[in-house]
Amino acid sequence: MTRTFPGRVDVAVVGSGPCGAAVTRTLGERAPHLTVAVFEAGPQLTPTPGQHIKTIRDPTERAEAQRRSQGTGPAPDGRSARPGTYLLPDGYRTPGEDGLPAAAMSRNVGGMGAHWTGACPRPGESERIDFLPGLDALLDEAERLLNVRHDAFDDAPFTSVVRERLAVAFDSGRGTDRTVRAMPLAVRREPDGRVVWSGADVVFGEATLAGPRVSLYADAHVRRVRMESGRATGITVRDLVHGGEHEVAARAVVVAADALRTPQLLWASGLRPPALGRHLNDQHQVMHAARLRDVTGPDTVAGGASSGVNWVPYTDAEPFHGQVMQLDASPVPLADGDVPVPGSIVGLGWFCAKDVRAEDRVTFDHTRTDADGMPAPRIHYTLTDKDRTSLEAAHKAIRRAVEALGDPLDPEPITLPPGSSLHYQGTVRMGESDDGTSVCDPDGQVWGTGGVYVAGNGVIPTATACNPTLTSVALAVGAARHIAATLD
């Protein structure tokens, strides 16, 4: 870490989350001669940059790290964000629309990768990007960078029971890659059983940030991408520690923020392709909980995991994705003296694919600014009849899952407010051709520019229900490989 900003680099990466880390790591492996600087608007939370906050064992220190991730603006009235994130103070709903009242972001080295659940399912059926050659190879590479395992919690109590019961309820008629299975997770297990969740530190890799040609700057807010004759020439960055703005020349710039702040930076930089900010989509989310029936004693392995995670994959016939977790405690109060068998309480989350429309979008203008003085976002977002039908079907499916597992802990499933998934996509979407419906090409380069790339969940062009991180990291790898070949 340093406060001496460079005058010139080959590649400037804006954002230090898993996608910014994937770009940096790939450039280091593919083109080690290139100089790369990563700029992050938020603070460094852990001694190793980008670690997951669950690596902080002291609860007080962990809570402080979460607080430091929660931005610089005032807390919104009447709405609460989960720890480590912050909400849009205004502009989250346009009158007459549903909006995204729960839309949240984090601001720290490692981005949302410091707070996420580590779920890394692969997209299937129409979730896949059919015009992108080599998608599976990119997903394989993303699994390597994220350290994804498919059996991390197979020794958790009753996880096989949960999987078998869900399979009976859901597997009929599904393709072989869409049957119920363990959730792929970005995690490793230490010999003592301790769980270490992958953050951006794992994606960066130890050798990347230790190398002489890569540098990381925390508390460094990028304000503009500088352009000349349609090509990137660098960035303008504000030092949030000592004040002042600096110009950093670069041959390529990768904007790897999130689905709201990436289009914000492009817009502020005068890069405004017709699709910028459009096709915004969230995954509306349904929650339920169950208590396993007919389990009577501990099904534990010495040193084993306490909580299993299973997956009901998306299909076009059932356009939602189920994440099923065995919980350490009941999410609802139990009767006094009722102590459940470990592993017998199960939380279920069903994520629904959005009916993707250009009308759902984030916009910016010069009349409103956010706490950083950047153009403030305004959300235009509406659930369509198709979305409401999907939600109804998800309610039925999650009830079916609970009935297969045991007894419900709540009478009915709960639909969370729009934006709760934190899986916003589409605002800088990838496209096959420059026809006005996408922001970047299949290599992640913004249409009509030279050397301006985008990375992150916002690049995903399809309607997905699965957790998007694996896919967005895969697309970031593809962008980095193109940069390495172009700047060779």
The mean pLDDT value for 376-382 works out to: 97
pLDDT at 145: 98
Residue 390 contacts residue 311 (beta carbons within 8 Å): no
Residue 320 — pLDDT band, cuts 50, 70, 90?
Answer: very high
Residue 462 — pLDDT band, cuts 50, 70, 90?
Answer: very high
- Burial label for 177, CB within 10 Å (0-12, 13-18, 19+), is exposed
Which parts of 299-342 are beta strand (E)? 309-312, 320-326
Which parts of 306-465 are beta strand (E)? 309-312, 320-326, 345-352, 361-363, 378-380, 406-408, 414-415, 452-454
User: Can you read off the two tokens belonging to residue 414?
Assistant: 């709960």
pLDDT at 54: 92
Please report, rounded to a whole number, the percentage of residues in the chain having pLDDT higher than 70: 94
pLDDT at 1: 46
CA–CA gap between residue 383 and residue 221 (Å, rounded) = 34
Determine what percent of the chain falls in helix, strand and coil, rounding each to the nearest 5.
Answer: 25, 25, 50
The mean pLDDT value for 246-272 works out to: 98
pLDDT at 335: 59
pLDDT digits over 265-294, tens only?
999 999 999 999 999 999 999 999 999 999
Comparing CA positions, the residue from 202, 14, 17 lying closest to residue 112 is 17
Please report, rounded to a whole number, the percentage of residues in the chain having pLDDT higher than 90: 84
pLDDT at 297: 66
pLDDT at 32: 95
CA–CA gap between residue 189 and residue 205 (Å, rounded) = 17
pLDDT digits over 154-200, tens only?
888 899 999 999 999 999 999 999 999 999 999 998 888 788 999 99
The mean pLDDT value for 378-383 works out to: 98
Which parts of 40-128 are beta strand (E)? 86-87, 104-105
pLDDT at 298: 58
pLDDT at 334: 60
pLDDT at 328: 67
Residue 217 contacts residue 36 (beta carbons within 8 Å): no
Residue 251 contacts residue 11 (beta carbons within 8 Å): yes
pLDDT digits over 85-99, tens only?
999 999 999 999 999
**In the annotation, is 380 catalytic?**
no
pLDDT at 331: 59
Comparing CA positions, the residue from 16, 51, 19 lying closest to residue 37 is 16
The mean pLDDT value for 222-233 works out to: 98
Q: Look at residue 461 and tell me whether its pLDDT is greater than 50.
A: yes
**Domain 1-147+198-282+360-381+424-488: what homologous superfamily?**
FAD/NAD(P)-binding domain (3.50.50.60)
Q: Look at residue 304 and tell me whether its pLDDT is greater than 60.
A: no
pLDDT at 302: 44
The mean pLDDT value for 57-76 works out to: 89
User: Of 221, 288, 380, 423, which is the active-site residue?
Assistant: 423
Say what the pTM is. 0.96
pLDDT at 153: 87
Greater confidence (358 vs 192) lies with 358
Give the count of beta carbons closer than 10 Å to the beta carbon of residue 357: 17
**Average predicted confidence (pLDDT) for the chain:** 93
pLDDT at 77: 66
Q: Look at residue 305 and tell me whether its pLDDT is greater than 80.
A: no
Residue 262 contacts residue 458 (beta carbons within 8 Å): yes
The mean pLDDT value for 30-39 works out to: 97
The mean pLDDT value for 48-69 works out to: 95
Give the count of beta carbons closer than 10 Å to the beta carbon of residue 160: 15
Amino acid present at 254: V
Residue 263 contacts residue 438 (beta carbons within 8 Å): no
Residues 6+ apart with CB under 8 A from 360: 278, 279, 280, 281, 354, 380, 381, 382
Comparing CA positions, the residue from 419, 403, 386 lying closest to residue 320 is 386
